Structure 1
């Protein structure tokens, strides 16, 4: 693997922050995440104010992650075809232009949602290119810590972004908040373009036409699916949150089941995010070998606490159970170096793009499916049973993934 720093010392936060450009990477991520989450709140309120439709307002969140499946597969080759830095800057600028266009007076709601779809379409490409650049900037010891820090920023933004977004909308209005989001993308682009080191393209020799990009994106997906160890690891990173996301998907319905006020659902959303941050911050202090040994216990921790919902706990207890489940997501710190070892540099941009898009797609589909079950069955029962089923499925998957040969050998084989 190519690296710009030596493989020692350890993998802690300070070691990551000492790498040139990494502070700018994290600052850009924090700025754009804060703006994006606040803008989702602003756009939801703006659409509801214009239409009075709860359905159209809810479509804002759907349009935020729906394009991940398409953009993450059709355009994934761009993350390898070009050096990551210009790809990241271009994605930020395109997103900033789209959000700025939402400020046009009298813009129809379908146009607003269409612009949001565009920003969602480029989001997995941005995430894939950023992860590919980290693979060059950080070595095998610090790479998991770097990705963990990005996840921590994201989850911290989730904890504060929606609440602060609501306050900001009340204080300055949705249009000004959208303007701030557009500015946040410009700030992120400037930080990345001016303060981060250049890294090479993974596979720069492909053609520049759209047809060649689509073709190479398909080739990257086939490459991923053909390498059994890599495929098993990626599927595991999708399955773990795919099952555990049921708590978020049914948070409002479960709150109603307990007889609590609907606003109490915020405690459930916050509980999962807080647990994720706490888990990542705890594991980042441990040696790499320890993080690797904790993968299986953490995978199970992400699922088993959900079984407690079968007892219909109070909202505070339910939030604590979701916090434990979120802490289990720290298993990614043990899985990330395995994925990096099993992948080839020429395919890493496509690999991380597909991983990000698949993760969002699986969670979106899972939340929708679990939400539908919650209409017919008690939400607590759905969450509890899903936790038990998820524990059984991911325990089998983790045994197969960690038992795979470490050389990244290919073969069609099983999943």
Structure 2
């Protein structure tokens, strides 16, 4: 593998990442496509509700955004290693743009709209896995976790602003125009990646390219993970942290209603978790790599313990503060990413990062669904606190079972 384009020379912050040739275009493309995607989800939800009057069909937009991660990330993960990452990224963006543009066809049935959204969901984990593999080629072991941290920071910032702005833009320009803007955002992302970023070699360029071989090679990534317990525990740890802490977001509306406050105030809880994630990512990125490594265990515990405070039904400002602290624990990934990088084979990194992304989204969706079901029969604050206890026990057990993370 070719050496990274930039030596850190003691500078391991986000500024050092952005000075690597081509990296500003990568992050700009991510910001553009994330903003477009989130706003389009709002637009599509509203469009389907306006056509059908069904809250259930409108809610399926979010389900179709999460569900394909489990299947697409598992079956297609080997494609992230078979071809040069830049080619995979551009093709994924163009395919997503074509799907969103097709949604603009007048009178397209709702099942067809949801089907097109499912296709974009299938390619999303492949895109993210190829991008992570590309970052691992151009950024050294110290800068790689900071690069992924910057991607998460952009994502969380987009979550805070995208849904709010999406509703405003739908009212201002209409759902169809917002969907058109999303299709354009994918085209712009493809152009930035294709023309403004350097090319990295494929991780496994000699593999067969038949459909059967793609499935077999994707299964090789799962078998490699199964046969490598230290790496498997690290991946599980990256799933467990948001898997348990995400219930705070999942039950935010129910908790707000149970507290006797207007449902619109739930936005404070959503913002609290996202703001904590962004602030912690920015702070931890400024620390030395060894310090980030030492903070893994404290941060994974921090991601869960504040949730236990919901057992006492705190008022909304305090609840938002607890979620802010919980979100701050997500910065543990800056210490975990270098461990995953060192424990994985370069030829399999595209597959492993695709599996990591798809598993993370699947676990989050499942935990939110389970907590939502429990929250309809028990006090929401009590459910959040119970997940906090289970989450704290789980992440500590996984961290202590992983010698690298424990150190």
User: What TM bracket, shorter-length normalisation?
Assistant: over 0.9
**CA deviation after TM superposition for structure 1 residue 373, in Å:** 0.3
**CA deviation after TM superposition for structure 1 residue 225, in Å:** 1.5
SS in 2 for 1:248: helix
Superposition pairs of residues 293-308 of structure 1, within 5 angstroms: 293-308=294-309
Q: What does residue 223 of structure 1 align with?
A: 224
**CA deviation after TM superposition for structure 1 residue 120, in Å:** 0.3
Superposition pairs of residues 13-412 of structure 1, within 5 angstroms: 13-403=14-404
**CA deviation after TM superposition for structure 1 residue 229, in Å:** 0.9
SS in 1 for 2:266: helix
**CA deviation after TM superposition for structure 1 residue 402, in Å:** 3.3
Deviations 1:284-333 (Å, cap 9, x if unpaired)? 00000000000000000000000110110111111111010000000000
**CA deviation after TM superposition for structure 1 residue 374, in Å:** 0.3
**CA deviation after TM superposition for structure 1 residue 400, in Å:** 1.0
Deviations 1:25-74 (Å, cap 9, x if unpaired)? 00000000000000000000000000000000000000001000000010
Deviations 1:164-211 (Å, cap 9, x if unpaired)? 000000100000000000000000000000000000000011111111
Contact 2:85–2:202 (Cα < 8 Å) also in 1: yes
**CA deviation after TM superposition for structure 1 residue 278, in Å:** 0.5
**CA deviation after TM superposition for structure 1 residue 8, in Å:** 2.7
Give the Cα separation in 2 of the matches to 1:25 and 1:275.
Answer: 24
Contact 1:73–1:217 (Cα < 8 Å) also in 2: yes
**CA deviation after TM superposition for structure 1 residue 224, in Å:** 1.2
Q: What does residue 409 of structure 1 align with?
A: none
**CA deviation after TM superposition for structure 1 residue 4, in Å:** 2.4
* Greater mean deviation of Cα atoms: 111-120 or 222-231: 222-231
What is the RMSD computed on CA atoms of the aligned residues?
1.1
Give the Cα separation in 1 of the matches to 2:254 and 2:405.
Answer: 40
Tell me: CA distance 1:404–1:317, structure 2 relative to 1, closer, same or farther (3 Å).
closer
**CA deviation after TM superposition for structure 1 residue 5, in Å:** 2.7
SS in 2 for 1:376: coil
Contact 1:36–1:181 (Cα < 8 Å) also in 2: yes
What TM-score does the superposition give when structure 1 sets the normalisation length?
0.96
Give the Cα separation in 2 of the matches to 1:8 and 1:75.
Answer: 34
Give the Cα separation in 1 of the matches to 2:57 and 2:355.
Answer: 28
Runs ≥4 in structure 1, deviation > 3 angstroms?
Answer: 402-406
Tell me: CA distance 1:220–1:133, structure 2 relative to 1, closer, same or farther (3 Å).
same
Give the Cα separation in 1 of the matches to 2:26 and 2:5.
Answer: 16
What TM-score does the superposition give when structure 2 sets the normalisation length?
0.98
Tell me: CA distance 1:161–1:343, structure 2 relative to 1, closer, same or farther (3 Å).
same
Deviations 1:126-182 (Å, cap 9, x if unpaired)? 000000000001000100100000000000000100000000001000000000000
Deviations 1:263-283 (Å, cap 9, x if unpaired)? 011111111111000010010
